[in-house]
Structure 1
Amino acid sequence: MNSPLLLLLGFTAPMLASPDDATAADKPNIVWLTTEDNSANWYRLYDKNGAPTPNIERLAEHGLVFNNAYSCAPVCSTARSTIISGCYGPRLGAQYHRRELPVAMPGGVNPFPWYLRQAGYYTTNNSKTDYNFRKEDMKDAWDESSRKATYRNREPGQPFFHVQNYTQTHEGQLFGDLPKGVDKIVDPSDVEVFPYHPDTPLFREKYAQYLTRQHDVDSQLGKMIDQLEADGLLNDTFIFHYGDHGGVLPGSKGYARNDGLQVAMVVYVPRNWKHLAPAEPGSRVDGFVEFVDLSATALNLAGIDIPEGIDGRPFLGEDISLEELNERDTAFGYAERFDEKYDMVRFLRKGKYTYQRNYQPFNFDGLFNEYRYKQPAYREWRDLHKEGKLNEAQAAFFEPRPAECLYDLERDPHEVNNLADDPKYADILADMRTSLEKRLKGMPDLGFIPEPVFVSASGGEGEAFGRDNKERIAELIDIADLELVPFDEAQSQIAQALQSKDPLKRYWGLIVCSAFGDKAARFVPEATKLAASDENLLVRARAAEFLGLSGTGDPVPVLVDVLRTSTDPIEANLILNTVVLLRDGEPGIPFDFSKVEGAPWFQRKKGIGNFVQRRIAQFRGE
C-alpha cells in the first residue's frame, strides 16, 4: 500500500515490508542522482524555457531547491575531483582535464566516502569516477564502484551512501540525432536561442534534442526513486540531484562562465530527518553552494566531524541555519586545460555579478579542440564566423577577449554585455578583482605554474608544492595582473620580469606583452633575443607567440626549433596551443608539421600524446 507522502510525490510502486520502514533509522541514508553536462537553465524548475522534469520537480516539492548552486569547474574530471576531495582543484594541481599526472590528496585528508565507511556506512558508486588523484588515495573510498554497484548489498539496517550517474545528457549525445522512436518534446521553432549562439535551424534542432534528453533522463531518475520507495527507504533517505557541471551546447561546457558552471541542486528531505534541513520542504534557498561543499554536507548529515584540510562548508545538517546559509553569496570557478586545449580563466560570482579573469586574453574561446568540434553545432558556428555571418555577440567566441569581464546576471543571464569598462561599475569591478587576487594568492593557485613545469617539479605532491612555492606564485600573479593597468604604468615591471633569472617570470612577462599587443612594441628586441636563445623552451615559445601576434617577427622558425628540441609531450602540447592560435586566429600563419615529425614526443600514443596526434590530424585536415 502506498503512503500519503508517496502518493503526493506521484510514485505508485508497492511498498515492501522491511525493517527499514518500521522505525526511523539511526543515521540518514544519502543518495546522489547525478546527470552530465547540464546547466540549471535547461530545467523548467529554473527557467521557463527549460525541460519539464516531473520527478525532479516532485522531489523539490518535498525538499529544497538551491537557486545558486555551482560546479567549481565546467568539465567532469575536474569537477569530480573537487567533489571527492572537498578541495579546490588549483590548490592541489587537480584542475586539468584529463590528468597527465595523478596528484596526491592533501595531507591528512581522505576521499570523503572513506569517512562515511569508518562511521559504518555502506558506500557505493554506479559508476563514474574520473578523478585526477592517485589510485592508492582512492582505493578505500567505496565498498563498491562499478556499473553493478548497489546499496542493496549492504548489511540489514546498515546506513548507506549511494551515487547513481546518468549519461543521457552527456555532450556526446548531440554528436548525432536522437535515437529512433524518441520524439522531441518541443518543436525546434519554439526554442529560445541564447544570445551568443547563431539562430540557425541546426542550433534550434540541437536545443530541441537536448531538452528532450533532459526530459528523458528525468524518467530514469524516477526509476531509482521508485526503487527507493519500494525498498521502504524514502522516510530516511536524503536524495540529491545535480548536474556534474554546466553545458551542453557550444560555449558552456569547458568554459568558466555562468552557463558552464551554474547547475541545478535539488535535495529531497526525508520525513524522519527534517530537523537536518535549514528550511521547510518546498522551499527555495538563495544562499550560494558549491561542489566543494558537497563532501562536508554529506559528512555533516551523517554526524561526522569534517576534516580540517578541506575547503568546503556544509549546507545541510546540524547547526546550519537558513539565515547564515542565505548570507553566502560567493562562488568560485576555474578552467584550464580541456584535453589538448589550454586556457586559463578564473571565475568569481558575488551577489548578482560575475567576474571572469582571462589570463591569456589574446586567446579565443573557439580555439580548436578535437572532441568539442565533433558536435555539429560547433562546426557550423565556426564556419559562420569564417563567412562573416555572425553578429557581435555571436562572433565573440572566435575573437580575443578582454582581460577581465564583469556581468550583471539579473539583466544579462548569458553574460553578453561586459560592464568592465563602464565607469558606473568601477567600484564593483575593483572589489571583484581584489577578492579574486586574494583568493588565488591564499590558495595558492598552481595554475600559474605551467603544467609541464608542475609535472616535472612536483612529483604529484600538489599541495606541498604549492605551499613551498606560495611566495613565487604570488609574484607570478602580480606579473600577470600587469595586464589590468595602463601600459605606461606596467612597462617598468614588465621589463623586470623579462630580465628575471626566474624563467616563469619571463614566461608570464611575455604573456603580458602579448596581452598588450602593439602597445608593448618597445619589448620586441628583448622578445626577439628570448625567442632565439633563452634556455627555457616555454619562454622561447611565448616570445615567438608575442612576435607573431604583434606582427613584429616570424614565429615559425622558433616554434619549429622548440618543438624539435622538446622531449616532453606535455610541454610540446602546450607549445602547440601557440601554433594553433597563430594558425587559426589572427594573423593566420601557416605551419608545416612535417618539420617536427622526428621530435621525441611525436610518436607517443598514450596520455597527452593522443591529444598531440589529434592536433596534428587537424592541421593536416584529416
Structure 2
Amino acid sequence: MRLFQLIYSLVIICSIADLAYPAESAKRPNFVFVVSEDNSIHYLSLYGNKLGITPNIEQLADNGLTFNHAFSGAPVCSVARTTLATAMHAPRLGFQYHRKSALATLPSGVKPWSQVLRENGYYTSNNSKTDYNFKVDRKDAWDMSSNKATWRKRPNKAMPFFHMQSLAESHESRLHFPIKKMGTPTKTSPDDVVLQPYFPDTPIMRYTKAQYYDQMRLIDNHVGRIIKQLKEDSLLEDTFVFYFGDHGGVMPRSKGYAYESGLHIPLVVRIPENFKHLIDHKRGTRTDGFVSFIDFGPTVLNLASIVPHKELDGEAFFGKNISATDLAKRDEVFGHADRFDEKFDMVRTYRKGKWKYIRNYQAYYADGLQNNYRYRQLAYDNWRNLYRADRLNPVQRQFFERRPVEQLFNLENDPHEINNLAADSDQAKRLTEMRRLLKNKMKSINDLSFYPENRMVATALNDGVAFGQKHAKQLSRLSDLADTALRPFDEAQQTLVKALESKSALHRYWALKVCSNFGKKAKPLTLNAMPLLKDNNLMVRVRAAEFLGSINAIDPMPTLYSVVNNAETEQALMIAFNTIVYLRDQVGHKYDPEKVKLKFKKGEVYRRVQYLAGTEPNTNY
C-alpha cells in the first residue's frame, strides 16, 4: 500500500512538472527552408525593385527579419548548396568545382547538419534538389528526399521537423527560351525594365529581364502556398521559415560570377510567435549584419539547442547569447568562384562593409569566355555578338576582355562593380588592407585551389581538411608566388625566373600563370618559358603554351594537341581544352579539330569538343 502511495505521489509530481515544462520535443521549433534557384536580391520589391512583385515574401518580412547582407559564398548551385549543407568553406574541403568531377569526403565526425538534426529527434525532409559535391547517403541526411517529400509525412505529428523546399521557376533554364517566344507578351513590361549599365539596351535584354520578373512572381506564389500549408496544419507559429536564393542570377554576369549579382542573395526569416523569445529582433525589422551559407546550419542547430561540430566554419546568427547588436556588427564575408562546367576560373573575394576586393588569379580569361550552358540564353549571345561587331561602350565591353588582377569597389557608390579603384592612389591603404584580409582568410582555410583540379582530385579529396593542414606550408608558398602578379613586373621578374626553373612542378605551373597575368610585360621571360613546352608535367606544358601563345611568341596549338591526345584524366583534359578555347577566341590562334583524336559522347570535355568543332550552336534562334 505504501509503495502504491509513493508511486501515485510521483505520478502527480511528474504531471505537475509536465504542466510547467512541456515535453522537450514540443519546446523545439520547426524549420522550413524555401529556396528559390538562381536569384539575387536585385529582383524583389523587398530590396527596392518595384518590378519584383512578391507580396507573400513581403508578408514573411512583416512577421520576421530581413537581411540586407546575406551571401551564398559561391555563385553556382552545387558549390553553394554543398556549403549550405555542410557549413564549411568549399575550397577548404575540395568541393569548389561545379560540377564535381569527383566527390569530396567530409572530415571524420563531420556530418551534414540535416543529419545531425535527424539524429537529435527531428524529422528531416527535402523536396528535392541536393546537388552535393561530397559523399553522403541521402538516407542518412534525410528521412525523405524526393519530389514527394513533405513535413506532413513525419510519423508523429508532435515530432519537430526540418523541411527544405527548392523552387525551380527562377532557374537559369527558364531563360533559355527560343527567339520566337518574344512574340508572347510578358506580365512585366519590357519598357519598364531598367537594365544594368554593363548591358546593351536591346529588345532581347529587355524581354529576358522582364521574363525573369515574371518567374519571380511564380516563386512568390509558391511561397504563399507553403505558408498556407503551415497555417492549415496549425504549425506556422511554431516554425522558423527561411526564404532565400541559393545564389545570384540569372541574367548574364551573375550566376557563375563572383560579383554581387552572383553572391548577394535575398534572405527573410519569419519569426514564429511561439519562439520569438529566441530572437533578439522585433518582427518586421531589418538587419545590416553579414551572414553567409556557412552560418545557416549553426544557426538552426543553435535554435534547436544542439551543439555544432567544432570543425564547422560558420557561426550562428540567432539563438542563445546572440544579440541584435552582435549581429549588426558583422560586416565581413568571403566569396569564391572556380570552374563552372567546362569554364575554368579562380576568383576570390572579400567584402568588408561597403568595400569589396576581388582577386582574379587567371585575369587573362575574360568573364565572357565560352560556357555552353550560359550561351543558351539569348541575352548572352546577343551581348557577345554586339561585342564582336564593336557596338559596345567601354563599360559594356569589360565582360569580354582581360580583367585586372585585382579589383576594389565602393559598393555604396558603385553597386554594379564597374569602377575599379585598385589603382586609385587615394585608396592605396585600403587596397593593402583588403588584400591582407583576403590572403589571411585563404591561408587560414588552406585554400586547395592552388592545386590544379587534376592534382587535387588525385590527392586531397579523401579528407581535404587534413590534407590542407598537412600541406599548409606548400599552399602558403604557392599563394605567395601567385601574388607576385600584384607587384610591378621588374620587381617580380627574378622571383619568376627562379620559379620557372624550380624543381617543383607546382612552382613552374604557377609562375607561368603569373606570366600570363602580366601578359606582354612578361615577354622578357620568353626564353625561360620555352623549355617548359616539353616539361614532364602535362599541366606545366599547358600553362607554358598558354603564356607563350598569349603573347604570340609561338603557335601554342601543337603542344596543346599533344597534351589532349595524351592526358589520362578528365580534369587534365578540361584544363587543356579551356586553354585552347581561350587562345582561339581571345587571342586569335587557329584550332584544327582534325588534330584531336578524342571521341567523347558526354561530359564537360565533350562540351568543349562540340563548341570548338562548331557543332554546339545556339539552338534558340
TM-score by length of 1: 0.93
Deviation at 1:308, TM superposition (A): 0.3
Residue 613 of structure 2 is aligned to residue 613 of structure 1: no
Amino acid paired to 1:559 = L
| CA pair 604-463 structure 1, distance change in 2 beyond 3 A | farther
Matched residue SS, 2:141: coil
1:74-473 mapped onto 2 (5 Å cutoff): 74-136=75-137, 138-154=138-154, 155-176=156-177, 184-473=186-475
Structure exhibiting the larger radius of gyration computed from Cα positions: 2
Report the secondary structure of 2:428's partner residue. Answer: helix
Q: Distance in 2 between matches of 1:615 and 1:24?
A: 53
Counterpart CA distance in 2 for 1:462 and 1:593 is 37
Q: Which moved more, 1:121-130 or 1:178-187?
A: 178-187
C-alpha distance after superposition, 1:155-177 (max 9, x if no partner): 12000000011000000000116
* 2: CA distance, partners of 1:408 / 1:215: 31
Distance 2:438 2:310 in 1: 23
Q: Which moved more, 1:610-619 or 1:386-395?
A: 610-619
CA contact (8 A) 1:256 1:335 kept: yes
Inter-partner Cα distance in structure 2 for 1:561 and 1:179: 44
- For the structure 1 residues 350 and 449, does the alpha-carbon distance in structure 2 shift closer, same or farther, using more than 3 Å as the test? same
Q: Offset at 1:49?
A: 4.2
Pairwise CA distance, 1:182: 8.7
Q: 2:43, 2:49 within 8 Å by CA — same for their partners in 1?
A: no
CA contact (8 A) 2:29 2:238 kept: yes
Superposed CA deviations along residues 247-299 of structure 1, whole A, max 9, x for unmatched, are 10000000011110000000000001111112100110000000110110110
- When structure 1 is superposed on structure 2, of 326-335 and 138-147 the one drifting more is 138-147
Q: Does 1:591 align with 2:591?
A: yes
* Residue 603 of structure 1, CA deviation: 3.2
Q: Give the partner amino acid of 1:616.
A: V
Q: Which amino acid aligns with 1:321?
A: S
Q: Return structure 1 stretches of 4+ with deviation > 3 angstroms.
A: 21-25, 177-183, 603-606
Task: Give aligned pairs, total.
Answer: 592
- Cα distance in 1 for partners of 2:304, 2:151 equals 16
2:604 matches 1:603: no
- Residue identity matched to 2:593: F
| Distance apart, 1:132 and its partner CA | 0.2
Secondary structure at 1:614 match in 2: helix
> Given the superposition, is the C-alpha separation of residues 360 and 221 from structure 1 closer, same or farther in structure 2, using an over 3 Å criterion?
same
Aligned to 1:4: none
Identify the residue that residue 7 of structure 1 maps to in structure 2: none
Q: Which residue of 2 aligns with 1:65?
A: 66
C-alpha displacement at 1:181, in angstroms? 12
Give deviations 1:198-247, integer Å, cap 9, x for gaps. Answer: 11111000010001111121011101110000000011100000000001
Q: Tell me if the contact between 2:103 and 2:135 (Cα under 8 Å) persists in the aligned partners.
A: yes
Letter in structure 2 aligned against 1:619: L
Q: Structure 2 counterpart of 1:617, which letter?
A: Q
Note the alpha carbon deviations across 1:418-443, whole angstroms, 9 max, x for none.
11111111111111101101111111
Structure 2 runs not aligned, ≥5 long = 1-21, 616-621
User: Which of 490, 493, 503 is 2:492 aligned to?
Assistant: 490
Determine if contact 2:512/2:543 at 8 Å carries over to the other structure.
Answer: yes
What letter is aligned with 2:562? Answer: D
Q: Percent identity?
A: 48
- 1:24 touches 1:236 (CA, 8 Å); kept in 2? no
Q: Secondary structure at the match of 1:585?
A: helix
Q: CA deviation at 1:43?
A: 0.6
Answer whether contact 1:31 1:163 (CA < 8 A) is retained.
Answer: yes
How far apart are the structure 1 equivalents of 2:24 and 2:529?
74
Alignment deviations for residues 169-196 of structure 1 (CA, whole Å, 9 cap, x no partner): 0000001169999963321011100011
2:569 aligns to what?
A: 568
Q: C-alpha distance in 1, partners of 2:294/2:494?
A: 39
Deviations 1:45-64 (A, max 9, x none): 01234411000000100100
Q: 1:436-466, CA deviations, whole angstroms, 9 ceiling, x for partnerless residues?
A: 0111111100011010011112253222221
Structure 1 contact 124–163 (Cα < 8 Å) conserved: yes
Over aligned residue pairs, what C-alpha RMSD do you find? 1.8
Q: CA 1:179–1:596 in structure 2 vs 1: closer, same or farther (change >3 Å)?
A: closer
Counterpart code for 2:596: V
Residue 28 (1) aligns with residue 29 (2): yes
Quickly say closer, same or farther: Cα 1:181–1:228, change in 2 above 3 A: farther
One-letter code aligned to 2:277: H
